Amino acid sequence: MKTDTHQVPQGEGKGRTIVLTLVMAVITVVMFSQGKMPQDPKEMIALVLTLLFANTLFFLLLYTGRTDRYRAIYFSTFAVSLIISFVSHMFEARGSMSLSETKILQCEVPFCHLVIPMTLVPMAITKTIIFPGSLLGKYASIASMFVIWIGATLALGRGFCSWVCFYGGLDDGFSRVLKRPVIRNINPKWIYLPFAVLLLVALTAAVYLSPVYCSWLCPFKAVTEFQAVTSTKILIQTIIFVGLFIGLVIVLPILTKKRTQCAFLCPFGAMQSLTNKINVFDVRIDKEKCVKCKRCIQVCPTLSMSEESLEQGCARITCMKCGKCIDNCPKGAISYHIKGTDIPGKRNAYRLLFLFAAFLFLAIFSSHIIQDGIVRVLKLITTGSMIS
Ligand code: SF4
Ligand code: SF4
């Protein structure tokens, strides 16, 4: 059956878009610059470019109504900048990407939010944090990551995975390489695997008092830091990291057009899905407008839309609030929504509230990483090296 592919973007009028972009511009100028103008010309260029980039995308996102398109451009740029910035930082601090036993013993390992599900149970039982990172240090400290996680989770629930996560922009970006998927029929039961992984890593972390997912399963080790290969065990771990990165973050997202790492493995993502239960925002379907074309089911990168969702009028608990189904619905039947309220009345206000909060989190959380990424690239162009 031929489906109606005419799209109904939910863009704003010029006036409202300009006012909201100006508000965003004022906040981002203050937050990105931290109240002072950089003296270094490269830092100044990076600040101006990041401000222009963020505010142009925010304007386009509101004006055109293409939430997912402009979110994804920013989100993927953030993930690439993180790799550039992180790896350069590691070379400056340690001389390589590899993590030595000494640094682990000295607790000089940057903390990453993916470790949070493995720290909660041991923390409750032993009152200690089972990660060799610094609690209050300058670079990715445990305290700062917990504060960001709690704030973003309260505001966005699993929206964290499409608007805040360091790494989500990688499989998100690769899932857009092809126009059409090569692999189409994916069993929807795969969405339960991350919950099993979550249970497994939380229990094993409690038993062994060690962040098991980081040691054995994290694909992002391949592009951030990993232990120097000095034994067969570390060699096996390294092969797993690289294999998972190539498979789940690059190849499968390209072939399926799904975010396979985030949707089918990540235990942090599973935990964030549970937080969707307490978050005020969800993604709703107006059943009166819906013509059951199933376009939203086809495009959802996390299999969070199903025929059951269409019947119930809301996305599944695993929804990352990316906006892709909203952009693609030919009838404009899907929208961000505040739980416990009626759909038609204040629909646009809910949407604006969600988008403003989500974009602000993304912009503030990523700004220093994107700026540092730009500075590193400028250094590479002018001196031939990204590191100081
Ligand atoms: S909600 Fe989904 S099935 Fe209904 S019209 Fe929109 S894209 Fe089609
Ligand atoms: S249901 Fe819609 S908003 Fe949620 S993850 Fe799928 S495409 Fe994104």
Token output for 140: 């990715």
62 and 20 share a domain? Answer: yes
What local confidence, expressed as pLDDT, does residue 14 receive? 81
pLDDT digits (tens, 9 = 90+) for 209-239: 888 898 899 999 999 887 788 899 999 999 9
Strand 281-285 and strand 334-338: the pairing is antiparallel
Q: pTM for the full model?
A: 0.92
Average pLDDT of the segment spanning 136-157 = 86
Domain boundary among 344, 361, 377: 344
Mutate to test the pocket of ligand 1, among 310, 314, 335, 336 (most ligand atoms within 8 A of CB): 310
Highest mean pLDDT among 210-219, 252-261, 357-366 belongs to: 252-261
Residues 118 and 257 in one domain: yes
Residues 148 and 275 grouped into a single domain: yes
Residue 1 lies in a domain: no
Average pLDDT, the chain: 90
Q: Is the domain of 14 the same as that of 158?
A: no
Does the pLDDT of residue 100 top 80, yes or no? no
Task: Point out the least confidently predicted range of 52-56, 238-242, 253-257, 345-349.
Answer: 345-349
CA distance 339 to 142: 32
HEC profile for the chain? CCCCCCCCCCCCCHHHHHHHHHHHHHHHHHHHHCCCCCCCHHHHHHHHHHHHHHHHHHHHHHHHCCHHHHHHHHHHHHHHHHHHHHHHHHHHHHCCCEECHHHHHCCCCCCCHHHHHHHHHHHHHHCCCCCCCCCCCCCCCHHHHHHHHHHHHHHHHHHHHHHCCCCHHHHHHHCCCCCCCCCCCCCHHHHHHHHHHHHHHHHHHHHHCCCHHHHHCCHHHHHCCEECCCCHHHHHHHHHHHHHHHHHHHHHHHHHCCCHHHHHCCHHHHHHHHHCCCCCEEEEECCCCCCCCCHHHHHCCCCCCCHHHHHHCECCCCCCCCCHHHHHCCCCCEEEEECCCCCCCCHHHHHHHHHHHHHHHHHHHHHHHHHHHHHHHHHHHHHCCCCC
Split at pLDDT 50, 70, 90, the class of 374 is: very high
> Which residue, of 279, 306, 333, is where some domain finishes?
279
Looking at the fold, whether 229 and 365 belong to one and the same domain comes out as no
CA of 187 to the centre of ligand 1 (A): 20
Write down the pLDDT at residue 107: 63
Q: How far is the CA of 126 from the centre of ligand 1 (A)?
A: 49
Out of 160, 281, 305, 318, mutate this one to test ligand 2's pocket (max ligand atoms within 8 Å of CB): namely 305
Residue 172 has pLDDT above 50, yes or no: yes
Average pLDDT over every residue of 135-152: 84
Could you tell me if 174 and 248 lie in one domain?
yes
Distance 285 CA to ligand 1 centre (A): 8
- Rounded to the nearest angstrom, the distance between the alpha carbon of 6 and the centre of ligand 2 is 19
Establish whether residue 310 lines the binding site of ligand 1, counting it when its CB lies within 6 angstroms of any ligand atom: yes
Q: Which ligand is nearest to the CA of 314?
A: 2
Check whether 1 has a pLDDT greater than 60. Answer: no
* Mean pLDDT (whole number) for 289-293: 96
Asked whether residue 3 carries a pLDDT value surpassing 50, the answer given is no
Q: Give percent above pLDDT 90 in the chain.
A: 70
In this predicted structure, the answer to whether residue 4 has a pLDDT above a threshold of 50 is no
Between the CA of 162 and the centroid of ligand 1 the distance, in Å, is 21
* CB-ligand 1 contact for 290 (6 Å cutoff): yes
> Is 4 inside any structural domain?
no
Whether residues 149 and 260 share a domain: the answer is: yes
| CATH number, domain containing residue 287 | 3.30.70.20
Identify whether residues 113 and 187 lie together within a single domain: yes
| pLDDT of res. 330 | 95
The stretch 236-260 carries a mean pLDDT of 97
Cβ–ligand 1 distance for 332 under 6 Å, the answer: no
Look at residue 158 and tell me whether its pLDDT is greater than 90: yes
Q: Whose CA is closest to atom 4 on ligand 2?
A: 319
Once rounded to an integer, what is the mean pLDDT over residues 4-23? 74
Residue 239 phi, psi (nearest 5): -60, -40
* Domains of the chain: total: 3
Would you state the pLDDT for residue 2? Answer: 40
The confidence band for 41, taking pLDDT boundaries of 50, 70 and 90, is very high
Domain final residue pick, 279, 301, 331: 279
pLDDT score, position 348: 82
pLDDT at 95 exceeding the cut of 50: yes
Alpha carbon nearest to ligand 2 atom 8, residue: 322
Indicate whether residue 313 lines ligand 1 (CB < 6 A): no
pLDDT at 130 (0 to 100): 75
Q: For residue 106, give its domain range.
A: 99-279
Q: According to the model, what pLDDT value does residue 343 have?
A: 60
Ligand 2 atom closest to 322 (CA): 8
Mean pLDDT of 306-317: 96
Q: Measure 300 CA to ligand 1 centroid, in angstroms.
A: 11
Residues touching ligand 2 (Cβ under 6 Å) are 283, 300, 302, 304-305, 315, 319-325
256 and 114 together in one domain: yes
Pocket test for ligand 1, best of 286, 331, 343 (most atoms within 8 A of CB): 331
- What pLDDT, on the 0 to 100 scale, is given for residue 345? 63
Ligand 1 mean position to 330 CA, how many Å? 7
Share of the chain above pLDDT 70, in %: 93
Give residue 10's pLDDT.
63
The answer to the question of residue 301 being in a domain is yes
* pLDDT tens profile 330-354: 999 999 999 887 666 677 888 899 9
Q: How confident is the model at residue 6 (pLDDT cuts 50, 70, 90)?
A: very low
Q: Which ligand is nearest to the CA of 6?
A: 1
Residues 150 and 138 in one domain: yes
Q: Model confidence at 106, in pLDDT bands (50, 70, 90)?
A: low
More confident site: 337 or 9: 337
The per-residue pLDDT for 5 is 45
**Which ligand gives the minimal distance to the CA of 287?**
1
Model confidence at 38, pLDDT cuts 50, 70, 90, reads very high
Indicate if the pLDDT at residue 88 is higher than 90: yes
